Structure formats: structure tokens, C-alpha cells
Structure 1
Amino acid sequence: MFVVGGESLIDLVPETRAAGSRRIAHPGGSPYNCAIALSKLGNDTGFLCPISTDAFGDTLLVPLAEAGVAVLIEQRVVAPTTTAEVSFNDKMQASYKFTRGAERAFSRAALLAALPQDLGLYQTGGFCPIEPEDAAIWLEVVDAAIGRGAVISVDVNWRDLLVTDRDGYIGRLNGFLNKAHLIKVSDEDLAHFDPALSIEQHIEGLLARPNCKLVVVTLGEGGSLAFTAQGRGKAEIWSPPVFGDTVGAGDSLMAGILTWLDETGVLKPGALGRLDDAALAKTLRFGAVVAGLNCGQIGCKPPTRQEVDAVLGMP
């Protein structure tokens, strides 16, 4: 099973770009989005996050069920669902204002008890390193996943509005990155670490970490890059016929990359590091189509595997 651990929330998205436009509730959260995208691409997927008993919690459960994602913490919590007020710039790129709640209402015992024994991949990141007490527990989950033989992937998703202690956050995030076999970052994430370094310098440092074999960098409209010790790949974005917005594009791309790596038999620490230029380009292309199809929707609505195959001309 693939398991994604981390936040779920409700994106409160303006109906139009006009001032005072009413907001529409869309299920979201980077780990939540990625879990749904993974399942819709045909992977046996579980989501590790508490869900509230409130109406927004009911809303979150519907897409999980429709996609066939296993909700690993079955007991719902009374804390209110985390929300994110979404706004868009002129390029329809999203920014967020968060009010946190149910996704933090977990215990060490509950998370570890819900983690499956049969575990091929564990993905984390997002909000998990932000608060010290949360990070300590989530790191124990990562260690448990490693003990069960899982590949560890980390999607950074730096949320500057939530980071009140930059040095402390970086220290906690480093704890996650040092355990990861695969790391995904955006160019904006890298700039938060150190804007004076080039992408290549950042990548050199990430690949030098104890376990990292593959790094993926998203560049917004510039597409994506991938790096291993043996190669470098690049893919342009895939543009849908009708554009919606970019909500969940990076999460969908990550799900596509993980799916392709698994299907090609290389989602293993020993194999990831041997990917060459051609293999990395194919991996990113698959992810770009998944992300592009999601961008044809309003809010995060990842594509099915059939929709992706129709674009790529696969049987």
C-alpha cells in the first residue's frame, strides 16, 4: 500500500475574482490531494490524518470514498476542520491563509496503530514539520514506515504564513529530509531555504543527504526538473484545452511521478539513484500530464488513469 500522512483541510475558494465574491468550499490539503490522485491513478492508497465530525469533515470524506482511498484513522475527532482561504494572482496561482484544527488532533499511539504493516511507500511533508510537538510524532511514523520497508518521499510545500520560527522549522524539516529517498520541492521552496543558491547548488546539497536518491523540482510555468546521481531530466508543463486553476497541480504531479516510478519497477532506494536522463524525462512527462489534467478543473480534481492514458496514447 501507498500511504500519505499529513493534513486535510477545506479550501475556501472565491467564486469569482471580483472583490467580496462568496467563497466555495473545496476539499484540499497537499497530502489529502496526493492520496486521492494516487488512488485515481490505480494505486492501493491510504490516508493518515484525523477527520473532524463537523460538516466540513463530511465533505472531506466524500472524495476519499469516491477515489477508493482507505481512511486509516476511522475514529473522527471533535476539533473543527482546518480551513484555508484561497486567493489567486494574475496567473491564477494560488496563495493561502490557514486556520488549523482537526488535522492536528492526533496522538502518537493513534497514528502508529493506523499505519499498515504492508507498506511500499510512505509520503509526508506539508504541515508535518511546522510545530515541534507534531514533528516529533510524525518523525516516529516515518521511522515506523522505514522499519516496514517503505520508500520515503517528502513533498516540502513550505507554507511561509504558518512558519513563525524559521530556524526551528528548517531544523525540523531537515529531520524529515534526512530520512527521505525522494524529495520534491518547488523553486519557491528552495528560495525560502537560501535565495542566494542556484537550483543546482540546492540539488547538490539535497542529493548529499543520507538517503536521498532522487530530487524533483517544480518551476511553475517553467515545468519540472529531476535529478539523480546518474542523470538530469526536464519536462515542460502539459496545458489542458481549457484552463481552470493550479490548485493541487504539484500534488497531482507528485502522484503521477510516484505512479510511474512504481510501474516501471524503480520505486526502490537502490533503483532510484540509477535513473538516467531519458528515464527521468519520461517520469516527469507522465507527472506533467497528470498535473495538466488537474489544471483543467476548478479546485483540485486529479484525473483518472484512463484520462492520463488517453493523452499519452497508451493502451
Structure 2
Amino acid sequence: MHDAPLMLCAGEALTDMIYQGDERWVSRVGGSVWNVARALAVLGERTAFAGAISRDRFGDALWAASEAVGLDLRLLQRVERSPLLAIVEQGEPPRYFFIGDDSADLHFDPDVLPEYWSRDLRWAHFGGISLAREPLASNLVALAEKLKEQGVAISYDPNYRNLMDERYAPTLRSMAELADVIKVSDDDLRGLFPGVPLDEALRQLRAAAPSAFCLLTRGGQGASLFHGDQRADARAPAVAVVDTVGAGDASVAGLLHSLARHPGRSLQSHLHAALAAGSAACLQSGATPPPPAAMQQLFELLEGDAS
């Protein structure tokens, strides 16, 4: 496979249907894993998205948006099934549900991927609702296990949603144990470990992968990056926020980009890269990839403040 990808994001690409009031709705391309893939591509990484989308206008929009940022489309499958829709009735506090009992995403088939597609792969990212929807979830966990055996580093962002009930616990454990990078927010921890204090929830999650990088985001309270016994803390740079949708996904991409391109950086600098990407994504509406120039400017600002 010519120019095989170096980075992979495998999971869901979907359409957000967002209520605007007065019975008006607007559709937006999205999906947490797909958002990470687009952000990595914009940041210059040779990235593929592996998943399945529908053959209707919703699938066309996802394909076009993937193509626009230079994603490798050879692993993106199109099937004759309905689209996966996220119905967003309310933004803050969020109220949403999903439509897609037999939708396209569930029919992703790893067995028909092109020959030698993973030969150059260095990183693979998983997460989102794709890991809570069968049979897709089992296929993705098996794919992650296979890639780990090949020496591919695994990134995992559970990105908690309300369909992740007690049945999700084995997947959480399996993916955390495979992970070289875990990204989680304080809200994720509350959802994944109900009734457990945040510090204890984080300890339990990190215990599954004690040598992994673990990025904990806390909204306006800043973020922390853990690696073994090391810890770095920082607050996001002040920006004129247009929209926070996709900021967490962008922060994952920023961290992976930093780890891949600058492995010798300090833990603090890797955290700054993640925060810069997340903040840069907030400068635009929707789940839009962070502009590289804005990310670099914010990264330099954070690095300067820390010196």
C-alpha cells in the first residue's frame, strides 16, 4: 500500500442534528474519533480514518469533509445503511440521544481493509461511542489488540456518553490496559465511575495503564498530564471562544502530534501542545480542526509563560 498511514483513528463518524428552536434543526458533521482524525491531518500527520458511513447525503458530507483536510480515505467504507445521527436537543446542560440501531457505523469490517495498510502505522486512536455500540465495539477492541501486538502505540479517549452504562466497564478496562495515551475529562470520570471521588476514579483508571501518558482536562480549571510519577499542570490560554465543541478532540490530536513529532519534549511542553490545540479549536464554530498557525502561536505563548 503506497504511502501507508502513520496514524489511524478508528471509530464513528456521524451527523449531529442540533435543535435551533422553533422546530428548526441544523446538521453538522462530527464524531469524536473522526474529529481527532481531521485535526491530525490538518496538523500535517499522515492520517487515515477507519470506519463506515452511509451512501446518502449525510455520508457524502462526511466524505467531503474528510477529503477536504487530506485524510487517507482508503480505510473509510461506505455501506447501504442509514446514517448514525446524534440528536442534540439542548446544549448546556447537554441533552441528546442517538438514532442508529442498524446504522452504517456498525457495519465497519476490518477484514476487508487493504493489504499492508498498517505496515507503517505508529499510532492508533480509539474511543467515543463506537466502543459502546456492538458489534462495532468488539471489532475495534480486537483491532486495537492486533495493532498493539504489532508495536503500534494506542491512544484512547472514552469520551463518556449516556449510553455507556455498566456494560461498558469491560471495554473501559480492556482499552485502558492497551493504552499508551489516555485522555479523559473530569466529566468523563464522573460518568464512568459514578459515585467515586474524582481523585480515586483517576487512580483506578491510571492503575490499568501505569506507564501511559494520561491527559486530564477540567474545562476552565486547566489540565494535567501524568506520566509515571511525573505530573505537569497548566491552564488553557485565554482566547475569544466561539465554540467549545470539539476542543477535547483537538487536544488529543495536539498531544499525539507532539508525542510523534517531538518525543524529546518535556511533559510540560506536551501538555502545552494539547492545550494549544484545544484552545485553537475554540476559535471557530463547530467541531472544526485547530488552525496550525493559531495552535503554534498559543503553544509559544504557553511556553513563554512557563519560562
TM bucket normalised to smaller: 0.7 to 0.9
- The aligned counterpart of 1:205 is 204
Compute the displacement of 1:152 (Å): 0.4
Q: Once the two structures are aligned, what percentage of the paired residues are identical?
A: 28
Say if 1:210 and 1:234 are closer, same or farther in 2 by CA, change over 3 A.
Answer: closer
Compute the displacement of 1:249 (Å): 0.8
Question: SS where residue 288 of structure 2 aligns?
Answer: coil
Question: SS where residue 127 of structure 1 aligns?
Answer: helix
Does the Cα contact within 8 Å between 1:240 and 1:292 map onto a contact in 2?
yes
Q: 1:12 aligns with which of 17, 21, 25?
A: 17
Does the Cα contact within 8 Å between 1:53 and 1:76 map onto a contact in 2?
yes
- The aligned counterpart of 2:65 is 63
Does the Cα contact within 8 Å between 1:8 and 1:29 map onto a contact in 2?
yes
Say if 1:183 and 1:111 are closer, same or farther in 2 by CA, change over 3 A.
Answer: farther
Alignment TM-score, normalising by the size of structure 2: 0.87
Q: Does 1:300 align with 2:293?
A: no
- The aligned counterpart of 1:77 is 79
Query: In 1, Cα distance between the equivalents of 2:125 and 2:119?
Result: 15
Query: In 2, Cα distance between the equivalents of 1:302 and 1:167?
Result: 32
- The aligned counterpart of 1:265 is 263
Does the Cα contact within 8 Å between 2:180 and 2:212 map onto a contact in 1?
yes
The runs of 5 or more residues in structure 2 that have no matched partner are 1-5, 302-307
Larger mean CA deviation between 141-150 and 106-115 belongs to 106-115
Compute the displacement of 1:173 (Å): 2.0
Does the Cα contact within 8 Å between 1:234 and 1:280 map onto a contact in 2?
no
Compute the displacement of 1:153 (Å): 0.8
Say if 1:194 and 1:68 are closer, same or farther in 2 by CA, change over 3 A.
Answer: same
Larger mean CA deviation between 245-254 and 94-103 belongs to 94-103
The within-5 A match list for 1:15-94 is 15=20, 19-20=21-22, 22-89=24-91
Question: SS where residue 50 of structure 1 aligns?
Answer: strand
- The aligned counterpart of 1:99 is 99
Does the Cα contact within 8 Å between 1:207 and 1:229 map onto a contact in 2?
no
Compute the displacement of 1:99 (Å): 1.3
Question: SS where residue 298 of structure 2 aligns?
Answer: helix
- The aligned counterpart of 1:269 is none
Say if 1:249 and 1:75 are closer, same or farther in 2 by CA, change over 3 A.
Answer: closer
Does the Cα contact within 8 Å between 1:77 and 1:102 map onto a contact in 2?
yes
Question: SS where residue 76 of structure 1 aligns?
Answer: strand
Query: In 1, Cα distance between the equivalents of 2:129 and 2:59?
Result: 18
Query: In 2, Cα distance between the equivalents of 1:302 and 1:255?
Result: 9
Does the Cα contact within 8 Å between 1:73 and 1:114 map onto a contact in 2?
no
Does the Cα contact within 8 Å between 2:281 and 2:291 map onto a contact in 1?
no
Does the Cα contact within 8 Å between 2:106 and 2:133 map onto a contact in 1?
no
Larger mean CA deviation between 104-113 and 31-40 belongs to 104-113
Say if 1:134 and 1:313 are closer, same or farther in 2 by CA, change over 3 A.
Answer: closer
- CA deviation profile, 1:110-160 (whole Å, cap 9, x unmatched): 358685221100110112331353322111111221132210010011111
Question: SS where residue 239 of structure 1 aligns?
Answer: coil
Compute the displacement of 1:257 (Å): 0.8
Question: SS where residue 15 of structure 2 aligns?
Answer: strand
- The aligned counterpart of 1:270 is none
- The aligned counterpart of 1:231 is 230
Question: SS where residue 120 of structure 2 aligns?
Answer: coil
- The aligned counterpart of 2:3 is none
Question: SS where residue 175 of structure 2 aligns?
Answer: helix
Query: In 2, Cα distance between the equivalents of 1:72 and 1:239?
Result: 38
Query: In 2, Cα distance between the equivalents of 1:211 and 1:109?
Result: 32
Alignment TM-score, normalising by the size of structure 1: 0.85
Q: Does 1:240 align with 2:239?
A: yes
Question: SS where residue 68 of structure 1 aligns?
Answer: coil
Does the Cα contact within 8 Å between 2:84 and 2:98 map onto a contact in 1?
yes
Aligned residues: 294
Compute the displacement of 1:70 (Å): 0.7
Q: 2:269 aligns with which of 271, 282, 304?
A: 282
Compute the displacement of 1:260 (Å): 1.1
Question: SS where residue 97 of structure 2 aligns?
Answer: strand
The runs of 5 or more residues in structure 1 that have no matched partner are 267-274
Query: In 2, Cα distance between the equivalents of 1:112 and 1:184?
Result: 29
